[in-house]
Amino acid sequence: MRRAIALAATLAFAVTGAAHAAKWTKYVDVENGIAWSYDADYSYKDKATGRLVVMQAISKPAASLGPAGPGEPNGVGNVVAIDCGKKNMIMLGTYKPSQPLALSGGWRQDVPKQASGQENEALLAAVCPTADKAPTK
């Protein structure tokens, strides 16, 4: 009985610890009560391209939506690779509850798009000043 309780407690800690591992930082509010956040724990600088790779998620508290990562029942978002100097980005992949995150294997050869629009401009303003502190992978 004690083993079962200890195992249950360990599993509960592992699940809740994993669920709270992401450090979501809100960077912009948009219309209809929607906000965008990025996962500061996920962000890193790609060694091959120098681009900052960032996971971002949408949230709408009124609809019990995120921010949350892939595999979470309320997670909707994407991963982008940002060139802070040129202010452009490449989409690596998206996710939602019915679709797991699948990153493009050939994203480094994709043509970047200008980071325009309220959400993208706010993301660059939030993450680019700290890009030099991101780990390189």
Name the token pair of 86: 């040129």
What are the sequence ranges of the domains in the chain?
A: 22-133
pLDDT 10s digits, 64-75:
899 999 999 999
Name the token pair of 1: 């009985």
DSSP codes of every residue in 102-131 = ---TTGGGSPPEE--SHHHHHHHHHHGGGG
Q: pTM for this structure? A: 0.82
pLDDT 10s digits, 63-122:
989 999 999 999 999 999 999 999 999 999 999 999 999 999 999 999 999 999 999 999
C-alpha torsion angle, residues 119, 122, 123, 126 (rounded to 10):
-160
CA distance 85 to 31: 28
